[in-house]
């Protein structure tokens, strides 16, 4: 079995760069992603010259839609494969980069920084979460805005689907989930091309109180907290998402 659990490599470095990651998640809801961006733009009413950064952008689906709405957008991700794919869509007002979330892509450059679809909380060391928030804060201008879209861990843990199997492109993915040492852990096993594979996702179960601490330490003032992509109010027990909107002060 080919195992990604190498102590010298973070799980996300290998898994997000794997072709099988993109197969497993190929059916992500693009309509939902566009609706979320549309609702955010309606909420903020940004100027046409507003400059956005899409933090941990993956293949750039949110960046692309923001750009189609007429905005200047930079997107970055640690996955070289994802950025290589995204670069095929670059234009004068849309650019993609390989970059780590713990390092600002640019400093004091952006009006808005979006970190969407639970693209946070992957690090073993708790200090790295604060470093990542600090980095995002450094990338935006004074009075710039951060939107961080995370899962609502309370609901996810309460309704955890512990065993799941799904077949995509003739590959059967056998998935188990558990909560271990403060992380929501997903183990993914499958066979392809006469090889067996095992990958793992580990996302820290970050509460609203913990995010408030991160944001406060980075001089970010939370201005709104939403619980879904329709921007309804956050309910700790029932909301699907934890979406934080904060200003740099």
- pLDDT tens track for 135-144: 999 999 999 9
Can you give the pTM of this predicted structure? Answer: 0.92
Mean pLDDT of all residues in 84-91:
97
DSSP 124-144: SSHHHHHHHHHHHHHHEEEEE
**Smallest Cα–Cα separation from 236: which of 247, 246, 245, 225?**
225
Q: How confident is the model at residue 33 (pLDDT cuts 50, 70, 90)?
A: confident
More confident residue, 4 or 236: 236
Judged against a pLDDT cut of 90, whether residue 29 lies above it is answered with no
- Check residue 28 and give its pLDDT: 72
Cβ neighbour number for residue 30 with a 10 Å cutoff: 11
- Check residue 105 and give its pLDDT: 98
What percent of the chain stands above pLDDT 90? 90
Q: How confident is the model at residue 90 (pLDDT cuts 50, 70, 90)?
A: very high
- Check residue 3 and give its pLDDT: 54
Round to whole Å and give the CA distance between 51 and 157. Answer: 36
- Give the contacts of 247 (CB within 8 A, at least 6 positions apart): 143, 144, 145, 146, 220, 221, 223
Q: Give the max Cα distance, the chain.
A: 55
Mean pLDDT of all residues in 183-208:
96
Write down the number of H helices and E strands in the chain. 8, 12
CATH topology for 11-153+207-248 is Rossmann fold (3.40.50)
Round to whole Å and give the CA distance between 194 and 150. Answer: 36
- Give, for 150, the enclosing helix (H) or strand (E): strand 140-151
Cβ neighbour number for residue 194 with a 10 Å cutoff: 5
9-20: per-residue pLDDT in tens? 789 988 988 999
163-177: per-residue pLDDT in tens? 999 999 999 999 999
């Amino acid at each position: 079995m080919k195992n990604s659990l190498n102590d010298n490599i973070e799980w996300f470095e290998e898994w997000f760069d794997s072709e099988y990651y993109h197969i497993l998640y190929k059916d992500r809801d693009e309509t939902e992603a566009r609706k979320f961006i549309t609702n955010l733009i309606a909420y903020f009413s940004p100027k046409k010259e507003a400059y956005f950064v899409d933090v941990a952008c993956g293949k750039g689906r949110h960046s692309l839609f923001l750009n189609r709405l007429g905005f200047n957008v930079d997107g970055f991700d640690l996955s070289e494969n994802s950025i290589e794919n995204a670069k095929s869509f670059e234009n004068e007002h849309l650019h993609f980069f390989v970059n780590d979330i713990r390092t600002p892509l640019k400093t004091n450059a952006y009006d808005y920084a979006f970190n969407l679809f639970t693209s946070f909380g992957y690090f073993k060391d708790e200090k790295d979460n604060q470093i990542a928030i600090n980095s995002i804060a450094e990338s935006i201008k004074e009075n710039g805005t951060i939107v961080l879209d995370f899962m609502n861990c309370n609901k996810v843990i309460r309704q955890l689907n512990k065993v799941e199997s799904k077949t995509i492109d003739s590959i059967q993915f056998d998935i188990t989930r558990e909560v271990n040492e403060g992380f929501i852990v997903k183990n993914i096993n499958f066979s392809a091309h006469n090889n067996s594979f095992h990958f793992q996702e580990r996302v820290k179960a970050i509460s609203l109180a913990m995010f408030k601490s991160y944001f406060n330490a980075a001089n970010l003032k939370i201005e709104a907290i939403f619980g879904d992509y329709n921007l309804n109010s956050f309910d700790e027990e029932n909301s699907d998402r934890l979406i934080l909107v904060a200003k740099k002060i």
